């Protein structure tokens, strides 16, 4: 079985899309709910609809992709309505992702969600790298503490946090110390590696237009960083905080590695962008084959059981 659980929420399959590609319209979200995925995650919402950055704003490479989308989305009301209507239908979860451009916007959106009938998981994105002039909140631990203090003063629904990748043990220690002070339901590591730069030597140019070509990396580039973040945070967070592993997943083997590091669910971004919804059936089959070969029946048989040497 590929069943898993986050807080009080049961997922028949641990695979979800990552907030990002192919999840901005209700059509796209319906397709994910109709697939083998355990549920869907909405494109991160802002209080009002946004067109996002100028194109070209996403470029595929042989190792993954770089993007600077700039949060194009239909606005919170659109996703909240979808989430209220579809959450829990035929056993599928709808995760509502929100990414305010300020702490004030995040609090305003959480208030709206608190007052709504939505009873699923909300994922607060503290790690969008692509808004010119705005730094990623997840790298400012005191700002994270402020937003969580303010949020949990009124937000009584289950809350997850989408975190940026951390690269230093001081950062793993620092963010865990903050998170362990709050009733966070889960963290999701990692968002894209922010502000990478892909160069085309033929044209001697950058490959995306916004921010002078700098953008978030996804795909093969990020898998070891993602595994490090899942593992390092699993070793530091209190057990009540579950972990969603995101980063570099394109096969059942990649999921197996994320679960070994401590992931309860996983999300697929870049590879879902390349393959679309058939990816959930393929990766489920690959993961089941690996588990059968190893004699594992449930994810709990190997979750977090990475060996050191
Ligand atoms: C976008 C990219 C991100 O990595 C993110 O977390 C949110 C938004 C974007 O550019 O749309």
Q: What is the ipTM of this complex?
A: 0.95
Catalytic residues: 127-128
Pocket test for ligand 1, best of 64, 99, 225 (most atoms within 8 A of CB): 99
Domains (range + CATH), the chain = 4-54+71-193+219-301 (3.20.20.70)
Beta pairing, strands 39-41 & 93-98:
parallel
- CA separation for the pair 76, 100 (Å, rounded): 10
Query: Quick check: CB of 125 below 6 Å from ligand 1?
Result: yes
- Ligand 1 center from residue 68 Cα (angstroms): 7
Task: State CA 226 to chain mean position distance.
Answer: 11
> What are phi and psi for residue 117, nearest 5 degrees?
-90, 0
Q: Does the beta carbon of 216 sit less than 6 angstroms from any atom of ligand 1? A: yes
- With a 6 Å cutoff on the Cβ, whether 127 touches ligand 1 is yes
Distance 141 CA to ligand 1 centre (A): 20
Residue nearest to atom 3 of ligand 1 (CA): 128
Question: What pLDDT score was predicted for residue 4?
Answer: 98
pLDDT at site 205:
98
- Express each pLDDT in 260-305 by its tens digit: 999 999 999 999 999 999 999 999 999 999 999 999 999 999 999 9
Distance CA 252, CA 283 (A): 5
Which regions in the chain score pLDDT beneath 70? none
pLDDT of residue 176: 99
| Alpha-carbon span 229 to 190, nearest angstrom | 7
User: Quick one: 114 exposed, middle or buried, by C-beta within 10 A (0-12, 13-18, 19+)?
Assistant: middle
Pocket test for ligand 1, best of 95, 192, 195 (most atoms within 8 A of CB): 192
Q: What is the Cα–Cα distance from 18 to 29, expressed in whole angstroms?
A: 12
Atom in ligand 1 nearest the alpha carbon of residue 131: 10
pLDDT attached to residue 165: 98
CA 29 to chain centre: 15
Atom of ligand 1 nearest to the CA of 53: 10
Q: Which atom of ligand 1 is nearest to the CA of 127?
A: 6
Q: Please choose from 56, 100, 130 the residue to mutate so as to test ligand 1's pocket, defined by most ligand atoms within 8 A of CB.
A: 130
Q: How far apart are the first and last CA of the chain?
A: 29
Q: What is the pLDDT of residue 225?
A: 99
């Amino acid at each position: 079985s590929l069943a898993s659980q986050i807080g009080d929420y049961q997922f028949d399959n641990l695979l979800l899309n990552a907030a990002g590609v192919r999840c901005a319209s209700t059509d796209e979200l319906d397709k994910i709910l109709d697939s083998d995925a355990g549920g869907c995650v909405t494109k991160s919402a802002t209080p009002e609809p946004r067109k996002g950055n100028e194109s070209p704003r996403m470029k595929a490479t042989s190792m993954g992709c770089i993007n600077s989308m700039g949060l194009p989305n239909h606005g919170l009301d659109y996703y909240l309505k979808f989430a209220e209507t579809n959450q829990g239908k035929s056993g599928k979860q709808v995760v509502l992702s929100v990414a305010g451009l300020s702490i004030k916007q995040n609090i305003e959106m959480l208030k709206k969600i608190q007052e709504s009938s939505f009873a699923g998981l909300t994922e607060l994105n503290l790690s969008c790298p692509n808004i010119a002039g705005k730094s990623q909140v997840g790298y400012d631990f005191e700002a994270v503490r402020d937003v969580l203090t303010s949020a949990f003063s009124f937000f009584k629904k289950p809350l997850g946090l989408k975190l940026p990748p951390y690269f230093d043990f001081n950062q793993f220690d620092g963010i865990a110390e903050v998170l362990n002070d709050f009733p966070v339901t889960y963290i999701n590591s990692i968002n894209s590696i922010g502000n990478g730069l892909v160069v085309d030597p033929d044209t001697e140019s950058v490959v995306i237009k916004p921010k002078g070509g700098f953008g978030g990396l996804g795909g093969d580039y990020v898998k070891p960083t993602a595994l490090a973040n899942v593992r390092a945070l699993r070793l530091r967070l209190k057990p009540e905080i579950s972990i969603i592993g995101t980063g570099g997943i394109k096969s059942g083997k990649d999921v197996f590695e994320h679960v070994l590091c401590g992931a309860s669910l996983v999300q697929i971004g870049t590879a879902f962008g390349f393959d679309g919804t058939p990816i959930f059936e393929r990766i489920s089959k690959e993961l089941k084959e690996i588990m059968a070969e190893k004699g594992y029946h449930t994810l709990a048989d190997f979750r977090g059981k990475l060996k050191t040497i």
